[in-house]
């Protein structure tokens, strides 16, 4: 491999990484603003960067919007004192936040976020690595993220984090099954392809000339099950059993502070962003808009990325909206929902679509 | 390069595997098990069986070991007690038998063909995998499923019985 080729790959990776990281940082701000909106408050509106905030109208406006808040939060995580409690298992205590962070960052490599038309006139995906089994890669790697939570809870060696860790492991196993099963009908629908780009391209055409072929219109139940399981897998309310502030202090991260807590935090938001991206690619047509054909060339490429990101952010908003609207489930309710409702529903959904697709293929 | 990677990942599979067996702390053992599974998945990748590699991580590292950890934490497993002389003797005997078996297999010339790194394995595609599983290997597949079901029913029966006895004792 040529050096400049390698450099280009590294550059692309860094670009995607920095975009996702800043999205995660601003997702935290968005979360606080959405929370404020739901609860009839203003939200963060004081943080100012000296020179920028001093500009007469724009500076005040940006300050009110809280645009500078993520910078302050990030610096706080970096410069805070980092105490390590004396009663922890040091090795795993240090390892756990990294295990939570790295898989969340790794999954973005196979998520296509746009398209371009190459010289030969073929539509190509904008993606770091166009794997044929991309979606399985995402599932596999993101399922490793749970060790960060479980180990963090265990290594903290105190009661509340420990309970959080146990709950995290039980919840992950319960909902991963439904998550995987809800995706199988989608793969069947697109002819057994596990490539995310092919699945997005399969949603380009219109059915009967007017109906957009988005998967969510044909498989609403798969989408619903996937979304619920995604909420559980990302530990978002109403499924945030491992963290559950009201009964577990802060759950698995009670003993963590400063940068280590920051890693957990960024990891969680990255999970939400990538999860939303996967949902958009699988169910909401990716960068396709119904009744609109993307123009070729650079403009079309930029447009496809914009459409994808806007859809993704809309879904991130849904995550926050739900968090500040619904109360938390009780632990036994989480288990009942997972095993007695979602799993049988996912199996029935799979059998139903397997029959339907077999019937369609007969004609 | 290829050879170096093979030995690296082979070591990543075998060395943590050893630690799974000998570490006294159950959480350490579980963590080493994940490492070993990841090394195994990397070996599958070198054989270009990407599907199998991903399944290895998804099912074993991502789900089964989480379950192990759950159990370890739930029953609060203590450090394993030091083994007695009988256990050590059994371990040495088992190791000797395994080494003898391996050497016999290697030098008897009846071991058949070894997997060659770099050749595409037959189960690379998910489709091939599924078709083989449901035609040629249907019977072993079904038998495995049935055995798992038996184990599951067995566990339920045993735990139920205990609960019923407890209730009877209290009443």
Q: What residues of chain B lie within 8 A of the CB of A144, using their CB?
A: 34, 57, 61-62
Report the C-alpha gap between A253 and A259 in whole angstroms: 12
Residues B69, B5 within the same domain = yes
Report the C-alpha gap between A183 and A350 in whole angstroms: 9
Q: What residues of chain B lie within 8 A of the CB of A141, using their CB?
A: 57
The answer to whether B67 contacts A169, with C-beta atoms less than 8 Å apart, is yes
Residue B136's pLDDT is 86
Residues B3, B74 within the same domain = yes
Cβ contact A123:A198 at 8 Å:
no
> A166 in contact with B at a CB cutoff of 8 Å?
yes
The answer to whether B57 contacts A176, with C-beta atoms less than 8 Å apart, is no
Residue B78's pLDDT is 65
From B66, B73, B126, residue closest to A146, measured CB to CB? B66
Contacts 24+ apart (CB under 8 A), A334-341: A334/A171, A334/A174, A334/A232, A334/A239, A334/A241, A335/A170, A335/A174, A337/A228, A338/A171, A338/A174, A338/A175, A338/A178, A338/A232, A339/A174
Cβ contact B4:B46 at 8 Å:
no
Query: Which residues lie across from A206 on neighbouring strands?
Result: A212
Which helix (H) or strand (E) element contains residue B56?
A: none
- DSSP-derived secondary structure letter, B171: -
From B58, B66, B73, residue closest to A139, measured CB to CB? B58
Q: Residue B96 falls within a domain, yes or no? A: no
Question: Residue B143: pLDDT above 90?
Answer: yes
Q: Residue B3 falls within a domain, yes or no? A: yes
Residue B115's pLDDT is 56
Interface test mutation site (partner B, options A169, A177, A242, max chain B beta carbons within 10 A): A169
Residue A197's pLDDT is 82
Residue B41 neighbours by CB under 8 Å, 6+ apart: B53, B54, B56, B57, B61
What domain range is B33 assigned to?
1-80
Q: For A346-362, what is each residue's pLDDT tens digit?
A: 999 999 988 988 888 88
Q: What residues of chain B lie within 8 A of the CB of A137, using their CB?
A: 54
Q: What is the average pLDDT score of chain B?
A: 80
Residue B170's pLDDT is 45
Interface test mutation site (partner A, options B48, B51, B53, B70, max chain A beta carbons within 10 A): B70
Residue A1 neighbours by CB under 8 Å, 6+ apart: none
The answer to whether A140 contacts B54, with C-beta atoms less than 8 Å apart, is yes
> A146 in contact with B at a CB cutoff of 8 Å?
yes
Write out residues in chain A with pLDDT < 70, as ranges.
1, 53, 121, 192, 207-209
Q: What are residue A125's phi and psi, to 5 degrees? A: -85, 150
Q: What residues of chain B lie within 8 A of the CB of A136, using their CB?
A: 51, 54-55, 58
Report the C-alpha gap between A263 and B148 in whole angstroms: 39
Domain count, chain B: 2
Q: Domains of chain A: which residue ranges? A: 86-362
Query: Which tokens in the block code for residue B130?
Result: 């599924």
Is the Cα dihedral A221, A219, A236, A322 positive or negative? negative
Q: For A149-188, what is each residue's pLDDT tens digit?
A: 888 888 888 888 888 888 888 888 888 888 888 888 888 8
Residue B133's pLDDT is 81
Residue B112's pLDDT is 62
> A335 in contact with B at a CB cutoff of 8 Å?
no
Whether the model clears a pTM of 0.90, i.e. scores above it, the answer is: no
Residue B171's pLDDT is 43
Residue B10 neighbours by CB under 8 Å, 6+ apart: B39, B43
Residues B70, B129 within the same domain = no
The answer to whether A166 contacts B70, with C-beta atoms less than 8 Å apart, is yes
Task: Please report which confidence band the pLDDT of residue B110 belongs to, taking 50, 70 and 90 as the band edges.
Answer: low
From B50, B61, B70, residue closest to A169, measured CB to CB? B70
Residue of B nearest to A95 (CA): B31
Residue A362's pLDDT is 82
Q: Residue B88 falls within a domain, yes or no? A: no
Report the C-alpha gap between A165 and A159 in whole angstroms: 10
Which domain-ending residue is among B48, B80, B112?
B80
Interface test mutation site (partner B, options A95, A109, A143, max chain B beta carbons within 10 A): A143
From B57, B70, B73, residue closest to A140, measured CB to CB? B57
The alpha carbon of residue A230 and the mean position of all alpha carbons in its chain are separated, in whole angstroms, by: 8
Report the C-alpha gap between B38 and B35 in whole angstroms: 5
Residues B64, B134 within the same domain = no
Residue B50 CB neighbour total at 10 angstroms? 21
Checking ipTM against 0.95, whether it exceeds it is no
Residue A4's pLDDT is 82
From B34, B73, B127, residue closest to A162, measured CB to CB? B73
> A252 in contact with B at a CB cutoff of 8 Å?
no
Task: Please report which confidence band the pLDDT of residue B56 belongs to, taking 50, 70 and 90 as the band edges.
Answer: confident
Q: SS3 letters for chain A?
A: CCHHHHHHHHHHHHHHHHHHHHHHHHHHHHHHHHHHHHCCCCCCCCCCCHHHHCCHHHHHHHHHHCCCHHHHHHHHHHHCCCCCCCCCCHHHHHHHHHHHHHHHHHHHHHCCCCEEECCCCCEEECCCCCCCCHHHHHHHHHHHCHHHHHHHHHHCCCHHHHHHHHHHHHHHHHHHHHHHHHHHHHHHHCCCCCCHHHHHHCCCCEECCCEECCHHHHCHHHHHHHHHHHHHHCCCCCCCCCCCHHHHCCHHHCCCCHHHHHHHHHHHHHHHHHHHHHHHHHHCCCCCECCECCCCHHHHHHHHHHHHHHHHHHHHHHHHHHHHHCCCCCHHHHHHHHHHHHHHHHHHHHHHHHHHHHHHHHC
Query: Which tokens in the block code for residue A162?
Result: 């420990």
Residue B105 neighbours by CB under 8 Å, 6+ apart: B111
> A132 in contact with B at a CB cutoff of 8 Å?
yes
């Amino acid at each position: 491999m040529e050096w400049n080729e390698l450099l280009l790959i590294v550059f692309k990776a860094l670009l995607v990484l920095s975009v996702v990281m800043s999205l995660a940082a601003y997702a935290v701000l968005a979360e606080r603003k959405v929370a404020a909106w739901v609860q009839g408050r203003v939200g963060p509106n004081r943080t100012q960067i000296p020179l920028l905030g001093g500009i007469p109208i724009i500076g005040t406006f940006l300050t009110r919007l809280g645009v500078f808040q993520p910078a302050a939060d990030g610096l706080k995580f970096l410069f805070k004192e980092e105490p390590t409690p004396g009663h922890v298992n040091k090795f795993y205590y240090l390892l756990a936040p990294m295990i939570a962070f790295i898989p969340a960052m790794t999954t973005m490599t196979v998520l296509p976020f746009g398209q371009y038309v190459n010289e030969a006139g073929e539509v190509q995906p904008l993606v770091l690595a166009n794997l044929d089994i991309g979606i399985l890669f995402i599932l596999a790697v993101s399922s490793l993220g749970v060790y960060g939570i479980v180990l963090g809870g265990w290594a903290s060696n105190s009661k509340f984090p420990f309970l959080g860790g146990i709950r995290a492991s039980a919840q992950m196993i319960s909902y991963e099954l439904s998550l995987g099963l809800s995706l199988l009908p989608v793969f069947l629908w697109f002819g057994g392809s596990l490539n995310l780009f092919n699945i997005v391209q399969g949603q380009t055409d219109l059915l009967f000339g007017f109906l957009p072929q988005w998967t969510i219109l044909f498989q609403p139940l798969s989408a619903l099950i996937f979304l619920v399981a995604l909420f559980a897998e990302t530990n978002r309310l109403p499924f945030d059993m491992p963290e559950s502030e009201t009964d577990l202090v802060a759950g698995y991260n009670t003993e963590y502070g400063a940068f280590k807590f920051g890693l957990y935090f960024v990891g969680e938001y990255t999970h939400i962003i990538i999860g939303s991206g996967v949902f958009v690619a699988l169910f909401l047509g990716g960068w396709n808009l119904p009744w609109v054909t993307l123009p070729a060339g650079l403009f079309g490429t930029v447009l496809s990325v914009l459409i994808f990101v806007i859809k993704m952010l809309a879904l991130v908003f849904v995550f926050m909206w739900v968090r500040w609207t619904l109360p938390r489930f009780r632990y036994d309710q989480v288990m009942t929902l997972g095993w007695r409702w979602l799993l049988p529903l996912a199996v029935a959904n799979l059998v139903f679509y397997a029959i339907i697709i077999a019937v369609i293929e007969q004609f | 390069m290829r050879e170096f990677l093979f030995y690296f990942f082979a070591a990543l599979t075998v060395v943590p595997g050893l630690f799974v067996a000998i570490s006294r702390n159950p959480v350490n053992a579980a963590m080493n098990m994940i490492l070993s599974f990841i090394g195994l998945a990397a070996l599958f990748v070198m054989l270009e069986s990407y599907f199998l590699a991903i399944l290895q991580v998804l099912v074993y590292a991502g789900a089964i070991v989480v379950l192990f950890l759950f159990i370890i934490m739930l029953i609060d497993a203590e450090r394993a007690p030091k083994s007695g002389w009988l256990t050590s003797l059994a371990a040495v005997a088992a190791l000797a038998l395994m080494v003898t078996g391996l050497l016999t297999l290697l030098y008897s010339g009846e071991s058949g063909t070894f997997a060659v790194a770099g050749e595409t394995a037959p189960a690379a595609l998910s489709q091939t995998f599924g078709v083989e599983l449901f035609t040629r290997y249907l019977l072993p597949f079904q038998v495995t499923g049935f055995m798992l079901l038996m184990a599951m029913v067995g566990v339920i029966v045993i735990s139920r019985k205990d609960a019923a006895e407890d209730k009877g004792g209290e009443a």
